[in-house]
Amino acid sequence: MKMSKRMKSIGKSVDTAKEYTLLEAINVLRDSTSLKFVESLDCAIRLGVDPRHADQMIRSTVSLPHGTGKPVKVLVIAKGAKAEEALEAGADFAGFEDYLEKIKGGWSDIDVIIATPDTMADLGKMGKILGPKGLMPNPKSGTVTMDVAKAVKEVKAGKIEFRVEKAGIVHTSLGKLNFEPNQLVENTKAFLNTIVKLRPTSAKGQYVKSLFLSSTMGPGLKITRDEIPAL
């Protein structure tokens, strides 16, 4: 694969064979960014789980102390007063039949969908549309709830959802590189603490196999195991 001049330059200044502390890695990534847009801090953690087994499927949410650094468009599928409640709490869109029709028509200019339980029978029929986009609400992630105001506020404040992929890897973004380094460290620690608490009892051997931090278009830096919370 042919490397760009930018990646060659980064490769000369960044030691990708080294193991870093969280703060060291974040500072290296902040110093090596040279793009015109603000890159995100991305995390990839490989777990010793087999997602083919239901009891080893890791899926949950975490509220990042300093948010994600990007605006989140929220649609709430709800009826009547609950739709109004969602809009008052800060939802970008809220309603029922009109938005179901928009979704059927291919509209997906949203990041998160929250739904009340009484709408899921209708919304569930759109699994083939919403599922591949990661937009289908789920009780485990707190996006199927009657307390729509609380759910909207949490998502807007930096609550993110994550799930393990087939290879046992969880990918997520933990903020923007223009955050203060300590803010990114705290976001990362909040995520890691949540991951560790979710260890399935059926998972054998080493649970957290490796942890890497990277920028959106930068190198991946391996994080030392000393930074992984004890089980």
pLDDT grade, residue 190 (50/70/90)?
Answer: very high
The reported pLDDT for the residue numbered 5 is 55
Where on the phi/psi map is residue 80: left (φ > 0), alpha (ψ -120 to 50), or beta? Answer: left
pLDDT grade, residue 11 (50/70/90)?
Answer: low
Residue type, position 14, single letter: V
State how far the Cα of 14 lies from the Cα of 6, in Å rounded to an integer.
12
Section 31-41 average pLDDT: 84
Where on the phi/psi map is residue 62: left (φ > 0), alpha (ψ -120 to 50), or beta? Answer: beta
The reported pLDDT for the residue numbered 2 is 47
The reported pLDDT for the residue numbered 4 is 54
pLDDT at 231 over 80: no
CA angle at residue 103 from 97 to 107, to 5 degrees?
130
Q: What is the mean pLDDT of the chain?
A: 90
Per-residue model confidence as pLDDT tens digits over 70-82? 889 999 999 999 9
The reported pLDDT for the residue numbered 140 is 83
DSSP secondary structure, 115-128, as one string: E-GGGHHHHGGGHH
SS3 call for 93: strand
Domains and CATH numbers, the chain: 16-67+160-227 (3.30.190.20), 74-156 (3.40.50.790)
What pTM value is reported for the model? 0.82
